[in-house]
Each structure stands twice: as structure tokens, then as C-alpha cells.
């Protein structure tokens, strides 16, 4: 079947089987390998992306269900650098990404894309969350390195830092 | 790698269109709502529908509102929407209690109320919740709508009265004065099915329980309802001794089985104890009906 999905602002039209899972569409058809294919049972959350404006586990959503909708993946978190043709170099990390870097929020990094996508959504809806609210928001996602303390610290860090101020001291809004 | 078997796919554009597609593709077609039970089962090849009829575009089935003295919940409403609904929590705090412990926040973003009910997993939390609330299920078919009591909705594990060609469209709950409600669940971890859970709804007349609804999850009671304990509660004083006896009766009449979540005697103990706790909380809420909505409250709710 023919589907058109807007991923990170770009429309992608592809012929797919109805049984194709969204995570495989993103990784294998579009080459967007930032979203990770983890437990395959909607338990671990490594595959979390936004469908329209909502975090979902993309191993449990069909690509067909995203037809005509928007998807946002971890590749879209950073603002691309204006001077380097959209390679991402010279761009600006999202405060969530910066927070994970500052607070050592990842060890192996496998769960990180999903953790960051849910964290970005949380901060968009609750800009100043408590540690408990962060734990609740991320409770459906598993870090098998068990680095939860630093993940919570990373999101707290992000909540205290607007984009741009992290790198340049300037607020972007 | 888990991949569903080959399947055809149709996108419904209205309830009428969904019903027409169900008629056209027959009993091997399945409705696809959130898919958070169906797709995992398809990946494991436990179910292998020939055609999926995707109803995610049917905004007409996504709503929560009060009309005609009833709280009405559209079948396509997502779990997260019910958890966020102030009006649902004001009338029936049990809905927030239950939603807060269903799966995890990201799963709740996409899984639907109607999908959970039609999946009819014996460990699913909303079945006992709606049984306790004495809710009604509205089912649309080729010949129009019919209304079925929540207690007649399930015919067995993974089986409901929704026939091929039919679609669950709404759950409605009558709003009556003196009501308080609560859900108590014990699980092994976030996102897991309950070891056991209890749903309690009371309608008070002063200090007397005029009527009660009791639901039990995952302990093998018919229609998810603890009917013998409900009979005992009717007309009983809203007091600790009453709760304790209701819990004893509920435990006596349930039929749990030992599995990886625990031995049967432990589940029976939980059925009794959680019935007591849910009743205690429901009665407390019935006595303080105003301003005790639970919307947007963190998952720990010790004060209520």
C-alpha cells in the first residue's frame, strides 16, 4: 500500500506492506536509525517517537497508521546548523540532549533516543517537573544499564536550561 | 524479530464506513484501534486477521462528556485522555485510579478504552472498573445500536458479545447522588498486569450504603463482579466492620489460579484486602464529593 508520512518536517511517500511496523519503516525504509528497535514488545521504550504530538512506542504502531500524520524522531531534536547543509554540525543540541551530556545520562546509549523523546514531550507540557514527575513520565522505559538517577538528573538539568543558553548564554526566545 | 503475518488494511473514515468494511470483509476482519494489544498478539501470531480496519481516524468516537445525566466516553478515547479528564475524575475518581495504573504513560497515550474492553483480557483493569460502575456499553451494528450492561459484555477470556460486523462505540455511566468510587491494584512493577485488583463504587444514603458495585480483576470472578459481597453491602452501614466482611465474602467467592504472578491463596488474600481498601476509600470520597477530583495529580495519591 502507498503511504505518505511527514517525518521531521519532510514528506516521505513509500510503498509498504500493511504489516510493516513504524520502527522498521523509520530505520529500514528511511534510514533514520536514531530510533532504536529494542524489546519488540512495547515494554522498553527505546523506540519511542512522536506520532503527531504524542510519544508512542513505534514497535507497536503500524507504518500504515502513520499515513497522513506527522512523526518526530530523535534526529529532529537538535536544530540543524545553518552553514553545513543540514548535516547537524554547527547546530544546537536540544537542552534535553545537552542535559544527558552534562549529567552523564547515558552509559551504553541504547535507551537514550526514547528517553529523550519522552523527556522533550514532558518538558513541553510541564516545564518545571519534579524528580518524581520525571520518573513517572519515564516509567514505561527501561535503561538496562540502570542509570536512572543520572537520567532524572539530565531531565532536571534540561528543565533549568533553555535552548541556546546552554551553549552561548543566550536565550532563544 | 517479531513481525505480523501478511494482512490487508483498510482505513475507515466514519462509523458507517467501518461497519460497511466489517460487513464486506467478514469475520476474519479485526478492528484496529490503538493496537497495543492486537499488534503484539499479531506479532506472536496468536491472532492472524485477514484484514485490519483502522478506526484511528474516527474523531467522532473520541470524546468524554456529560449528557442526559450520564458520563459518556467514546470508545476511541485514549487512556491518557481519560486520565487527564477533569470531568471524569470529578464524577468517578475510580476512573483515574484505574487509568493511573494501566500499562505505562507512553502506552496510555495510544491505547484506547474501547480496545481494552474488546480485547477482554481477564487481567485488564477497566472491565472490573466498569462492572463496579454498572456502566453500559453501546454497540453499533448494521441494524443500529444496542445497549449492553458491562456485566453482560464479557462472555469469557478474550470474548465479548460484540459480534462480527459490530463495533463498540461508547461506554456510559449513570451519574447518581451520594457516589464514591476507588480502584486498588497490586502489581509486580510498572506496566505489568495486576496480581489482583479491586474496584469499589458505593452510593450512600447518609451513613448507609444504599447500593454498591464491586469489581475484581484477575481472580476469576464471573463478569468481573463480586455479586455476593455486593448483596451483603446493600443497606449495610458504611463502617469498617462492613468493609471487612465484604472483603471476606469477596475473597471467599473468587477463583484465582496460581501463575507466574503469584499463588492462588495470595491472590485470594489480595482480593479480600484490596476490596476493603477500595471500599474504605470509596466511602471517604462519597462523603467529600466536592473538589476531590484527581486530575493531574501525581501517581501517589496518599491523601485521598
Per-residue pLDDT of chain A (173 residues; tens, 9 = 90+): 999 999 999 999 999 999 999 999 999 999 999 999 999 999 999 999 999 999 999 999 999 999 999 999 999 999 876 555 555 566 899 999 999 999 999 999 999 999 999 999 999 999 999 999 999 999 999 999 999 999 999 999 999 998 754 444 444 43
Please indicate if any CB of chain B lies within 8 Å of the CB of A64: yes
H or E element: which one contains A134? helix A131-137
Q: Are residues A115 and A162 in the same domain?
A: yes
Q: Flag whether A32 is in a domain.
A: yes
What CATH number is attached to the domain comprising A52?
3.10.20.30
A87 located within any domain: no
B104: left (phi over 0), alpha (psi -120 to 50) or beta: beta
pTM of the model: 0.93
- Within a 10 A sphere around the Cβ of A83, how many other Cβ atoms? 9
* Cα angle value A123/B64/A59 (rounded, 5°): 50
Query: What pLDDT, on the 0 to 100 scale, is given for residue B191?
Result: 84
Which region, left, alpha or beta, applies to residue B178 given φ > 0 means left and ψ of -120 to 50 means alpha? Answer: left
Say if residues A164 and A98 touch (Cβ distance below 8 Å): no
Instruction: Quote the pLDDT of residue A89.
Output: 62
Query: Which of A20, A44, A76 marks a domain boundary?
Result: A76
| Whether the predicted pLDDT of B154 surpasses 50 | yes
- Specify the pLDDT at position B190: 84
Residues of chain A found within 8 Å of residue B5, distances taken between Cβ atoms: 19
Task: Tell me the pLDDT tens digit for each residue of B59-111.
Answer: 999 999 999 999 999 999 999 999 999 999 999 999 999 999 999 999 999 99
The number of domains in chain A is 2
pLDDT at A164: 58
Same domain, A105 and A60: no
Is the residue at A173 inside a domain?
no
Residue of A nearest to B298 (CA): A133
Does residue A65 lie in a domain region?
A: yes
**Does A102 lie in the same domain as A40?**
no
pLDDT at residue B303 is higher than 90 = no
Angle, CA A112 vertex, CA A110 and CA A116 arms, to 5°: 160
Q: Is residue A111 part of a domain?
A: yes
- The predicted structure's pLDDT at residue A59: 97
Let me know whether A129 and A163 are in one domain: yes
Do A151 and A101 share a structural domain?
yes
Same domain, A99 and A164: yes
B9/A42 Cβ within 8 A: no
CA atoms of A72 and A77, how far apart (whole Å): 8
Range of the domain at A18: 2-76
Closest CA to B114 of B2, B32, B9: B32
Q: Which three cell numbers stand for residue B160?
A: 465479548
Q: How many helices and strands, by DSSP H and E, does chain B display? A: 12, 13
Chain A residues with CB under 8 Å of B40 CB are 41-42, 60
Does residue A61 sit in the same domain as residue A103?
Answer: no
**A82 within a domain of the structure (yes/no):** no
Regarding whether A103 and A59 lie in a shared domain, the answer is no
Calculate how close chain B gets to A41, using CA atoms only, in Å: 6
**Residue that terminates a domain, selected from A15, A49, A76:** A76
For the record, the C-alpha cell of A33 comes out as 536509525
Nearest to B106 among A17, A45, A132 (CB): A45
Asked if residue A160 and residue A105 are part of one domain, the reply reads yes
- Please check whether residue B55 touches A, CB under 8 A: no
Does residue A39 lie in a domain region? yes
> What is the rounded distance in angstroms from the CA atom of residue A15 to the CA atom of residue A3?
6
Mean pLDDT throughout B169-189?
97
Query: What residue in B sits closest to A138 (Cα-Cα)?
Result: B105
Give the CATH number for residue A127: 1.10.150.120
Is residue A86 assigned to a domain? no
Domains identified in chain B and CATH numbers: 8-54 (3.30.43.10), 179-287 (3.30.390.50)
CA dist., res. A29 & res. A23, Å (int): 10
Say how far apart CA A97 and CA A115 lie, in whole Å: 10
Amino acid at each position: 500500500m502507498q503511504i505518505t508520512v511527514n517525518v521531521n518536517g519532510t514528506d516521505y511517500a513509500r510503498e509498504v506492506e500493511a504489516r510493516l511496523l513504524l520502527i522498521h519503516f523509520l530505520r529500514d525504509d528511511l534510514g533514520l536509525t536514531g530510533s532504536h528497535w529494542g524489546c519488540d514488545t512495547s515494554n522498553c521504550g527505546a523506540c519511542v517517537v512522536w506520532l503527531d504530538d504524542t510519544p508512542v512506542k513505534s514497535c507497536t504502531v503500524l507504518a500504515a497508521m502513520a499515513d497522513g500524520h506527522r512523526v518526530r524522531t530523535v534526529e529532529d531534536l537538535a536544530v540543524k546548523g545553518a552553514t553545513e547543509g543540514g548535516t547537524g554540525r554547527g547546530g544546537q543540541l536540544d537542552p534535553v540532549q545537552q542535559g544527558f551530556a552534562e549529567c552523564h545520562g547515558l552509559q551504553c546509549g541504547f535507551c537514550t533516543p526514547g528517553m529523550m523523546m519522552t523527556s522533550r514531550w514532558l518538558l513541553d507540557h510541564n516545564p518545571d517537573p519534579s524528580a518524581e514527575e520525571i520518573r513517572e513520565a519515564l516509567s514505561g522505559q527501561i535503561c538496562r544499564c540502570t542509570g536512572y538517577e543520572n537520567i532524572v538528573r539530565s531531565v532536571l538539568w534540561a528543565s533549568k536550561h533553555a535552548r541556546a543558553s546552554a551553549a552561548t548564554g543566550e536565550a532563544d526566545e | 524479530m517479531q513481525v505480523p503475518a501478511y494482512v490487508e488494511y483498510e482505513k475507515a473514515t466514519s462509523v458507517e464506513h467501518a461497519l460497511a468494511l466489517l460487513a464486506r470483509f467478514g469475520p476474519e476482519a479485526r478492528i484496529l484501534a490503538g493496537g497495543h494489544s492486537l499488534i503484539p498478539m499479531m506479532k506472536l501470531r496468536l491472532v492472524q486477521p485477514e484484514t485490519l480496519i483502522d478506526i484511528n481516524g474516527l474523531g467522532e468516537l473520541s470524546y468524554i462528556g456529560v449528557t442526559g445525566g450520564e458520563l459518556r466516553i467514546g470508545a476511541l478515547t485514549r487512556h491518557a485522555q481519560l486520565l487527564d479528564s477533569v470531568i471524569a475524575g470529578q464524577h468517578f475518581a475510580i476512573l483515574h485510579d484505574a487509568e493511573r495504573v494501566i500499562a505505562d504513560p507512553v502506552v496510555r497515550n495510544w491505547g484506547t478504552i474501547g480496545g481494552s474492553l474488546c480485547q477482554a483480557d481477564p487481567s485488564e483493569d477497566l472491565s472490573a472498573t466498569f462492572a463496579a460502575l454498572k456502566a453500559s456499553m453501546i454497540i453499533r451494528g448494521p441494524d443500529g445500536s444496542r445497549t449492553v450492561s458491562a456485566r453482560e459484555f464479557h462472555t469469557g477470556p478474550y470474548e465479548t458479545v460484540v459480534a462480527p460486523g459490530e463495533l463498540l462505540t461508547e461506554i456510559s455511566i449513570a451519574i447518581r447522588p451520594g457516589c464514591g468510587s476507588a480502584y486498588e491494584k497490586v502489581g509486580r512493577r510498572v506496566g505489568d498486569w495486576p496480581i489482583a485488583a479491586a474496584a469499589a463504587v458505593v452510593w450512600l444514603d447518609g451513613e448507609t450504603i444504599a447500593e454498591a458495585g464491586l469489581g475484581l480483576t484477575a481472580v476469576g470472578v464471573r463478569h468481573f463482579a463480586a455479586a455476593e459481597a455486593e448483596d451483603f453491602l446493600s443497606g449495610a452501614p458504611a463502617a469498617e466492620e462492613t468493609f471487612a466482611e465484604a472483603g471476606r465474602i469477596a475473597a471467599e467467592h473468587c477463583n484465582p489460579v496460581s501463575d507466574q504472578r503469584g499463588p492462588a491463596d495470595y491472590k485470594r488474600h489480595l482480593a479480600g484486602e484490596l476490596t476493603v481498601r477500595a471500599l474504605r476509600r470509596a466511602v471517604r470520597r462519597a462523603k467529600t464529593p466536592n473538589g476531590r477530583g484527581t486530575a493531574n495529580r501525581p501517581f501517589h495519591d496518599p491523601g485521598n
